[in-house]
Amino acid sequence: MASVPPTGRTRVRRLPQRAVYHRDDIYAILDEGFLCHVGFVIDAQPFVIPTNYARQGDEILIHGSAASRMVRALAAGVDVCVTVTLVDGLVLARSPFHHSVNYRSVVILGKARLVSDPGEKLEALRCLTDHIVPGRWDEVRQPTEQELKATSVLSLPLAEVSAKVRHGPPVDDQSDLGLPVWAGVVPLRSLPGAPIGAEDLMPGTPPIDLNRFDRRRP
């Protein structure tokens, strides 16, 4: 499996046994998630903004209003950090110190590029839409020129990237194992609930299939 060589900035220093540098493993985390947190700096103040994303090949795509501060900053080529975090469970130990969270996170560093080619931009928007609901793009009305103009797409290469993963049971001190308190993992999963159809749905519109929202990829 191809691995991404860590740089001085992406090498995991704390608990390096949790580091993941294999590209397939990193991409699997990115493909399961859809929410990222984008970090950038304006006037020495860092900002961290949540937004959705999609992976396309060796790039991460994000989009937003062409007028947004984040989009304008990223398009100007500032240094950026995009972080994706999946929380898999709460780890309950016999001492507070060994409590933990099972998670998978990816950190991407670099500079974004504004996607300006019209064909590439349209394909990127399709990718962003279909990443959240597979096949959605072909079901809905296509974007107008005005909508395309109002939306900017940014691409960040998956070059300087690393992941960190914790899984498995609590690791308690040997001397605490006799305590009569429950310890273990409480799994957490984000699950779709019953869909709430718009009030003005066309009569006879077929319901949405909830299986399309299962984010675990084969």
Residues 84 to 113: which contact a copy of itself by CB under 8 A? Answer: 85, 87, 89-90, 92-97, 99, 101, 103, 105, 107, 109
Local structure of 179: helix, strand or coil: coil
Which residues, in sequence order, are CB contacts of 75 under 8 Å at separation 6+? 112, 114, 152, 154
Length of the chain: 218
Q: Which is nearer to a copy of itself, 14 or 217 (CB)?
A: 14
E strand intervals along 66-115: 79-92, 100-111, 113-114
Q: Which is nearer to a copy of itself, 1 or 194 (CB)?
A: 194
CA angle at 51 for the pair 117 and 207, rounded to the nearest 5°: 90
User: Binder to a copy of itself among 69, 76, 134, 135 (CB under 8 A)?
Assistant: 69
Does 66 bind a copy of itself (CB under 8 A)? Our answer is no
User: Binder to a copy of itself among 3, 58, 65, 134 (CB under 8 A)?
Assistant: 65
Nearest to 86 by CA among 130, 49, 36, 129: 36
CA distance 166 to 88: 9
CA angle at 119 for the pair 55 and 67, rounded to the nearest 5°: 75
Q: Smallest gap, in angstroms, from Cβ of residue 45 to a copy of itself? A: 5
User: Binder to a copy of itself among 145, 204, 211, 218 (CB under 8 A)?
Assistant: 204
Q: Which is nearer to a copy of itself, 2 or 182 (CB)?
A: 182
Q: Which is nearer to a copy of itself, 2 or 45 (CB)?
A: 45
Sites for a copy of itself among residues 142-201 (CB under 8 A): 142-144, 147, 150-151, 169-170, 172, 176-201
Nearest to 165 by CA among 8, 5, 32: 32
Q: Smallest gap, in angstroms, from Cβ of residue 9 to a copy of itself? A: 6
| The two three-digit tokens of residue 152, written as one number | 């900017």
The number of angstroms, rounded, from the C-alpha of 120 to the middle of its chain's C-alpha atoms is 21
Q: Which is nearer to a copy of itself, 19 or 185 (CB)?
A: 185
Residues in contact with a copy of itself, shown as a per-residue x/- string from 16 to 55 under the rule CB under 8 A: -------------------x-xxxxx--xxxxxxx-x---
| The two three-digit tokens of residue 47, written as one number | 């900002």
